[in-house]
Amino acid sequence: MRYLPHTESTRQAMLDTIGVASIEDLFEQAGTPQEQPPTSLPPHKSEMEVEQHLSQLSGLNRAAGDGPFFVGCGAYRHHVPASVDHLIQRSEFLTSYTPYQPEISQGTLQYLFEFQTQVANLLGSEIANASLYDGSTGCGEAVLMAHRITRRKKALLSGNLHPHYASVVKTLSHMSSFQVDQSEVVAGQSATDDLIAKIDDETSCVVVQTPDVFGSLYDLKPIAEAAQAKGALLIAVVTEVVSLGAVQAPGDMGADIVIAEGQSIGNGLNFGGPYLGLFACRQKYVRQMPGRVCGETIDADGKRGFVLTLSTREQHIRREKATSNICTNSGLCCLAFSIHMTLLGERGMKKLAALNHSKAVQLSKALSNIDGVEIINQSFFNEFTVRLKQSAEQTVETLVKKNILAGVPASRLWPDRPDVENLLIIAATETVSDDHINELCAELKEALNA
Amino acid sequence: MLNNKGRVTRPQESTDDHIETQDSYSGHKGLLMNEPLLFEVGGLDKTGVDLPDCSETENMLGGLERAGEIGLPGLSEPEAVRHYVRLSQQNYAIDSGFYPLGSCTMKHNPRLNEKMARLPGFTDIHPLQPQSSVQGALQLMEQLSHWLLELTGMEAIALSPKAGAHGELCGMMAIKAALEAADSSRNIVLVPESAHGTNPATAAQLGFKVASIPADADGTVRAHAVQTAIEENGAETIAGIMLTNPNTCGLFEREIKAIADAVHEAGGYFYCDGANFNAIMGRVRPGDLGVDAMHFNLHKTFSTPHGGGGPGSGPVVLSQRLSAFAPVPFLQKSDDGLTLIEHEDGDDTEAEPFGRLTAFHGQMGMYVRALSYILSHGLDGLAQASGDAVLNANYVRAKLKHLLNQPFGDQACMHEVLFDESSLAGTGVTTLDIAKRLIDEGFHPMTIYFPLVCKGAMLIEPTESESQASIDLFVETLASLIEEAKAGETEEAFHQAPVHTPRRRLDETAAARKPILRFESSSN
């Protein structure tokens, strides 16, 4: 077996040192049950055979790069520079553990410190942590944090929050005996009257996504003021961080906690994971924050260095009194994010955002010329929603047979709502070409006339 | 694993000036480069990407344009590559040396896995594209599920948890959902003192009350102690038990079946923390031991890289009693192929999913790596790997038992071996000092000060990836340090270690007292 260094003779020599006859004897002495598990699993395979098997499975999937692709809704296809994937595969990054011994982990710790600064600046917040699993779990953690800070037990979610994110919050809340209220779904509009009306003296936090799941952008200031006037926190959620190269940061608009899905920068689609949750908030809430945090300090020679800090919030110290049970973060995904962000820099980030917006505007113009397609957004960044004259899901299924991935039918997210049946959510990033836009328009026209 | 309790968290004043700390002019030392922060070398006008120009279009941003600076310095590609390569050189890693971090299973990360995870059909597919266009991905999830269920003898699986602690949350939520379905108000979860901190934190997050169970003198949990705890709290209050097996002292819980029976008889459920599954894979099936829910750490047992702290992946297997409560999404087979059920009322079976743990379907990138590892080993290779892991840990035990004390006596261990610092009593040298000296000797230290059930714990997990020569050098080095400490005279050298590292001991107390969590330019 190619991954195991021992030969039979070294095994025997080591068993002799221990003073037992066989490895099985060791298990017996350790008290494991002796019956062999009945199982029909196959034996080991060569590297070549494994590669053939997995390549065959990979080949059954339609990769985004294989043709026109307009799917978003919380995960976005962007071009990632080749150096990002090369650098994150450096052995010292890839095969190290959580930096528990800081003297030999300064590489990881320094990039986490840089990452925290990049994230705080991008989201417009005072501080950020060293990442959570993804945007949706970050959203759940933010709600629990708001409960701790306000000592209230009711979260208010915007109806236009990604339904998967809402489900994560509802699951956590149900399991931890908190309440959740939600405003109406209003596709295509950044309407907040219903949301603001629902804020009351028991509300711990208001959770608003911008751009929302339909692509609409929000001015968060009035919501922040309304929430804070009632003693509640505003939690802003961003699922497409590239938007922050073009639009105002949630923290700058008054959000107390900002959660984002960081996948768009540096990380592939990966069928949903691994991703990384960006988590930022006001400095005064630092000791209520979940997850790992890296901080600056000095070493015995007075040199600047970095350590994991504020661990007295965490499970390995506090056990049942910890702020959260989180142990693992998304280390390597943070590194990919941070390297890509460093390569982009201020100029690249702004240009990337402008490019995305212009592609989406170009696509919306092209689509609006088709009979039976109505753009319903009043504002958007790189994703918007159209109302078709027929079922969006059937249309998507028709187009996938023509090798076009046209977007996400809203019914995929709300299967029980007939009112969204004809809505299609369409994203256009910098990876979309003019040819792809033309192909989509031509085939969509045909599908609608069929 | 690391705990601050019982160890010094700031460097001590040097009373000895023979330690060489002279700096070079450049700040570099030979191959060791001192690398400034990105914010000190990057520029707002620098970039390492060339993007196509964009056409002028109408602005649809709704008047929300960002004005002014974001604060994101950039670097050209060569500068960025050098920045990150230099940072990487300040890290220890499995690829560079022995990393016996107990409870973390730092085994070799095969590069085939990395190559497979980067196939476009896995890395470049979207979680919400039509399921008809991702049948290969669903087949991969199905195959991984089959292996994990067969290896554990369990009934159902939830793949989506993002890491071990998330898996614990998933398993305990399934238990809570089952209790709710039975209209039960049971709220006590039994947790042994030696448990990972995530166990009590998870139980508490779900509103359970944690009742601690003491370990026996031999380091394991005894069925009679569980029975006593059940009787003290009242059988009708027991929601379940969270038990790690093999436990965090590296010992197999010999009475696990009797413990499971006691908990089941009381009406509770048995959650098994599977962090240490590496010791028993291919040999012992938790389902045969009475386990109702168990998470894996794919990043421990199945070799997906730790990546400096993540990403992880924590699938959970469930017994027949809990299988109906698995969260969405889950896979369903039909004549047309595989379907991912994404909504709680999205199928016509008797499933009663407790909800959703994350957007999308979990850590696909880790599923690919784990399946690549599993197929490469096969059942025979997995059993050999767990066998070698146990062999290596017992070899370390045999080599060091004369020098270091085992808090629960000299007995066969599983994949890791636990020592305490009592042998160092009176030397002035602590477990922390030994760990820091090991760093100077070119090793990553073992896990220290965890578990909490002994003083100055040293938990050594060699894993199956280490050769005899590699283990020999480690144990001989550790032995020489213990002997040196016992001989006295060099106590100060222990307190000052490490000296051959990019940084020496760091002041963790100062870091926590006045947290600096982001770069601020000195002009501010």
Q: What is the pLDDT confidence band of residue B523, given thresholds at 50, 70 and 90? A: very low
What strands, in cross-sheet order, belong to the sheet with B447-448? B417-419, B458-460, B447-448
Radius of gyration of chain A (CA): 25
Shortest Cα distance, chain B CAs vs residue A393, angstroms: 9
Q: Which residues contact B244 (CB under 8 A, 6 or more apart)?
A: B192, B194, B195, B196, B199, B272, B273, B275, B276
User: Tell me: the pLDDT tens digits for B174-211?
Assistant: 999 999 999 999 999 999 987 888 889 899 989 999 99
Whether A23 and B387 lie within 8 Å, measured CB to CB: yes
- Hey, what are B440's tokens? 């100077």
- pLDDT value for B22: 64
Give pTM, 2 decimals. Answer: 0.96
Choice among A121-130, B76-85, B104-113, B328-337 with the minimum mean pLDDT: B328-337
Nearest to A14 among B151, B305, B468 (CB): B468
Backbone angles phi, psi at A31, to 5 degrees: 95, 20
This model of the complex carries an ipTM of 0.97
* pLDDT given at position B524: 41
> What's the average model confidence in pLDDT over B415-434?
97
- pLDDT at position B98 is 97
* Cβ within 8 Å, pair B358-A133: yes
Query: Would the pLDDT of B17 be above 80?
Result: no
A61 and B439: CB-CB below 8 Å? no
In the predicted model, what is the mean pLDDT of residues B21-46? 90
In the numeric block, which tokens belong to residue B152? 């554990």
Band of residue B348 on the pLDDT scale cut at 50, 70, 90: low
User: What is chain B's mean pLDDT, rounded?
Assistant: 94
Task: Answer yes or no: are the C-beta atoms of B106 and A54 closer than 8 Å.
Answer: no
CB atoms within 10 A of CB A227: 28
B465-489 confidence digits (pLDDT tens): 999 999 999 999 999 999 999 999 8
Q: How far apart are the first and last CA of chain B?
A: 37
Residues 6+ apart with CB under 8 A from B202: A325, B165, B168, B169, B172, B242
- β-pair partners for B271: B242, B293
Q: What integer pLDDT is reported at residue B193 of this predicted model?
A: 84
Question: Does the A82-340 domain belong in CATH 3.40.640.10?
Answer: yes
Six-digit token pair at B360? 């999308």
Residues of A whose CB is below 8 A from B517? 113, 116, 127-128, 286, 293-296, 309
Q: Which residue has the higher pLDDT, B2 or A95?
A: A95
pLDDT of B1 higher than 70: no
Instruction: Report the C-alpha dihedral over residues A279, A280, A282, A283, rounded to 10 degrees.
Output: 90
Q: In angstroms, how far is the first alpha carbon of chain A from the final one?
A: 57
Mean pLDDT on B425-441: 97
Residues of chain B with Cβ-Cβ distance to A355 below 8 Å are 51-52, 54
Query: Residue B323 pLDDT more than 50?
Result: yes
Helix/strand/coil for B457: coil
pLDDT digits (tens, 9 = 90+) for B44-94: 999 999 999 988 889 999 999 999 999 999 999 999 999 999 999 999 999
What are the residue ranges spanned by the domains of chain A?
A: 67-79+349-449, 82-340
**A297: helix, coil or strand?**
strand
User: Which CATH code, of 3.40.50.720, 3.20.20.210, 3.90.1150.10, 3.40.50.300, is assigned to A67-79+349-449?
Assistant: 3.90.1150.10
CB-based contact A429:A74 (threshold 8 Å) = no
Chain B (67-126) residues lying within 8 Å, Cβ to Cβ, of chain A: 67, 69-75, 77, 80-81, 83-85, 87-96, 99, 101, 104, 106, 108-110, 112, 114-116, 118-126
* Alpha carbons B183 and B190: distance in angstroms, whole number: 20
Q: How do residues B90-101 score in pLDDT, each as one tens digit?
A: 999 999 999 999
Structure tokens at B498: 């490490």
Q: What are the average pLDDT values for consecutive 10-residue runs of chain A, which has 450 residues? A: 97 98 97 80 97 98 98 98 98 96 97 98 97 97 96 97 98 94 94 94 98 98 98 98 98 98 98 98 95 96 95 71 77 97 98 98 97 97 98 98 98 96 98 98 94
Residues above pLDDT 70, as percent of chain B: 96
CATH tag for B379-501 (out of 3.30.420.10, 3.40.50.10470, 3.90.1150.10, 3.20.20.80): 3.90.1150.10
The dihedral region occupied by B310, where left means phi > 0, alpha psi between -120 and 50, and beta the remainder, is left
Contact (CB, 8 A) for B112 and A50 = yes
Q: In B, which residues are within 8 Å of A409 by CB distance?
A: none
B491, B495, B498, B499: CA torsion to nearest 10: -80
- State the architecture of B114-372 in CATH terms: 3-Layer(aba) Sandwich (3.40)
Mean pLDDT for the stretch of residues B246-254: 95
Query: Cα A428 to the chain's mean position, in Å?
Result: 18
Cβ–Cβ of A58/B90 closer than 8 Å?
Answer: no
Residue A130 confidence (pLDDT): 95
Q: What number of other Cβ atoms are within 10 A of residue A112's Cβ?
A: 29
Sign of the torsion formed by the C-alpha atoms of A48, A54, A57 and A63:
negative
A75 contact partners, CB below 8 Å, separation of at least 6: A239, A261, A263, A269, A272, A275, B126, B127, B128, B360
Q: Which residues of B touch A352 (CB under 8 A)?
A: 49, 51
pLDDT band of B3, cuts 50, 70, 90: low
* Angle between helix A392-400 and helix A434-449 axes, rounded to 10 deg: 120
pLDDT at residue B177, rounded to an integer: 97
User: Taking CB atoms and an 8 Å limit, are B75 and A345 in contact across chains?
Assistant: yes
Query: Is B66 within 8 Å of A354 when comparing Cβ atoms?
Result: no
Q: What average pLDDT does the segment B255-267 reach?
A: 97
Domain boundaries, chain B: 114-372, 379-501
Confidence (pLDDT) at B19? 52
Q: Do B124 and A268 touch (CB under 8 A)?
A: yes
Of A26, A37, A300, the CB nearest to B394: A26
- Please say if the pLDDT value at position B155 is more than 90: yes
Q: Give the pLDDT confidence score for residue A329 in this predicted structure.
A: 86
User: Using CA atoms, how far apart are residues B273 and B195, in angstroms rounded to an integer?
Assistant: 9
- Residue B252: band (very low, low, confident or very high) from pLDDT cuts 50, 70, 90: very high
